[in-house]
Structures are given as C-alpha cells and as structure tokens.
C-alpha cells in the first residue's frame, strides 16, 4: 500500500498526540528508575537504612569499578556469558530437532508425551549432585544444567508450534500431492516461525536461570559465583553488583532476540 503524505489537520493532531503519549511513557519509565535509584542512594547516605546490608548505587558503581580495575569483571562476565550462550544454543537447536522428530512420528509423540510432562515438572536443580558427579566441577556441569532447564521447554513449545499448523493448509498441500517432507519445509517450518521466536524469548530467560543456578551449585568463576561468594563473606555490595550486571546482560540478550524477530517476521500475519 502507498503511504499517504498529505494528511488532514485532524490526522496531524492525532499523530502529535500519539507522539506525545509515547514520549510521556518513556519519560515515566526513566523517571521511575531515577527516583528509585536516587531514593536508594539518599536512604543509604543518610543512614535511614544500613548500607552494609542494603548496599547503595554508589557502592555498586564502586564495586563494579574495582572488579574492572583488577581485571576480573570481564573474566566473570565472560565465563557466565559463555556458559549461558552455549547452553542456550544446545537447548534451542536440539529442542527444535527433537520436536521435529516428534511432529514427524505420531507414535513417538504419544510414547514420549508422559516423559516430557514429568521431566518438565521436575525441578532440575534436584539433579545438582548428580550433575557434579557426572560432569565434574568445571563449566561443563553448568552448561549441562542450562541445557537441562531449557531443553524440555524448548521441545514442548516447538512441538505445540508445529502441531498448531492450520488443518486447511495441510489439506491444501495434500491435495497438491505434497510429501511429508514438503509439508514440513513449505508449511510447518515457516508457519511455526512465531512459535520459534517465542521459544527463543522463553529460552533466553531459561538459559540465565540455568547458568546462574549451575554456578550456585558448582563454580570457580562467573556472576553466580560472585553472588554466592559475596553472600558467604557478607559482601552484599558484590551481590548487588552482580545482580545489576545480570540485569544488563539479560536485557541485551532479550533485545537481540527482539531484533531477530523484527528481521525475520517482516510481513504481518
């Protein structure tokens, strides 16, 4: 459709209001953050609360600065990032492939279903001791934990996406004489793209849970390690700093997935 450029005054007014509303929302968002951070700092400075327990924005900045100066910031961030991304990729790719297999074979789907449900309900952290014994105390154990947490959800989400393929479109392809492989490549995979994106979004969160939980159980480095260590030696500034870093990283990863979504799903459905 062509874009109209000579708008009526009423439409211009509407656009103006729309833009104003957007700006207002952004201003509110940012001011909530600023007010909260400011109040926190003020409360700590004036010792309304004990900054040793609550920490404060300035102490967090100082701690992150120290981590940076003794060259451990990027070491810890890098360690966790590597574990998270590796676990995320393995869970997403194998989850997708397993879901494809289950879509392909109805028999396999029916047989596997109760296992999926039970495994999904099982808190994976219960497997912690086993993971340490199986994978050792290195990064492998943490990646394994991340995969465990993400995989089942990835399979279930993708399988739902595949099974939701429009029955009439299936009938259409069958009437054209399409093979199962053609149905898969021409219809099932492209039509489940939104399900794939939402699976990615869910798994970003799952991957962080997995890696941090893995580091709680066993680790020598990483953001989860900093949190556990900070808690044990009562350096709550360190705990808070690690949480802030985590927030930033998770937001960046989510933004990347949102960008992928924008690039992949161009036409409105």
Question: Between helices 57-69 and 236-264, what is the axis angle to 10°?
Answer: 80
171 binds another protein (CB under 8 A): yes
Candidate list 34, 172, 251, 255; residue touching another protein; CB under 8 A: 172
Element (H, E) at 220: none
Site for another protein in 176-235 (CB under 8 A): 176-178, 182, 186-187, 190-191, 193
Contact (Cβ atoms closer than 8 angstroms) between residue 221 and residue 76: yes
- Cβ of residue 164: shortest distance to another protein, in angstroms? 14
20 binds another protein (CB under 8 A): no
Q: Which stretch binds another protein (CB under 8 A): 8-16, 73-81, 169-177, 218-226?
A: 169-177
Candidate list 4, 6, 70, 168; residue touching another protein; CB under 8 A: 168
d(CA 215, CA 80): 8
What are the two backbone dihedrals, phi and then psi, of residue 88, each rounded to the nearest 5 degrees? -60, -50
- Cβ of residue 77: shortest distance to another protein, in angstroms? 38
Rounded to a whole number of angstroms, the CA Rg of the chain reads: 24
Q: Which residue has the tokens 């995969």?
A: 147
DSSP 192: T
Closest CB to another protein among residues 3, 69: 3
Please give the residue ranges that form the binding site for another protein (CB under 8 A). Answer: 1, 166, 168-169, 171-178, 182, 186-187, 190-191, 193, 267-269
């Amino acid at each position: 459709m062509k874009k109209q450029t000579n708008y009526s005054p009423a439409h211009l007014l509407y656009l103006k209001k729309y833009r104003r509303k957007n700006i207002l929302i952004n201003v509110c968002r940012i001011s909530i953050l600023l007010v909260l951070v400011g109040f926190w700092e003020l409360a700590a400075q004036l010792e309304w609360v004990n900054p040793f327990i609550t920490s404060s924005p300035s102490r967090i900045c100082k701690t992150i600065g120290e981590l940076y100066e003794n060259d451990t910031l990027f070491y810890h961030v890098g360690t966790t990032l590597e574990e998270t991304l590796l676990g995320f990729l393995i869970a997403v790719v194998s989850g997708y492939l397993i879901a494809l297999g289950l879509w392909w074979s109805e028999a396999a789907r029916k047989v596997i279903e109760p296992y999926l449900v039970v495994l999904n309900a099982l808190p994976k952290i219960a497997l912690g001791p086993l993971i340490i014994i199986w994978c050792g105390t290195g990064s492998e154990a943490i990646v394994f934990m991340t995969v465990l947490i993400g995989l089942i959800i990835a399979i279930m989400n993708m399988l739902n996406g595949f099974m939701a393929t429009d029955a009439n479109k299936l009938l259409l392809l069958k009437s054209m004489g399409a093979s199962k492989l053609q149905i898969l490549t021409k219809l099932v995979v492209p039509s489940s793209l939104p399900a794939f994106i939402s699976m990615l979004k869910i798994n970003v969160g799952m991957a962080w849970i997995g890696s941090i939980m893995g580091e709680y159980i066993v680790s020598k480095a990483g953001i989860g390690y900093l949190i556990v260590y900070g808690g044990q030696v009562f350096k709550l500034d360190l705990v808070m700093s690690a949480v802030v870093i985590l927030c930033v990283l998770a937001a960046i990863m989510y933004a990347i997935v949102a960008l992928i979504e924008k690039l992949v799903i161009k036409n409105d459905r």
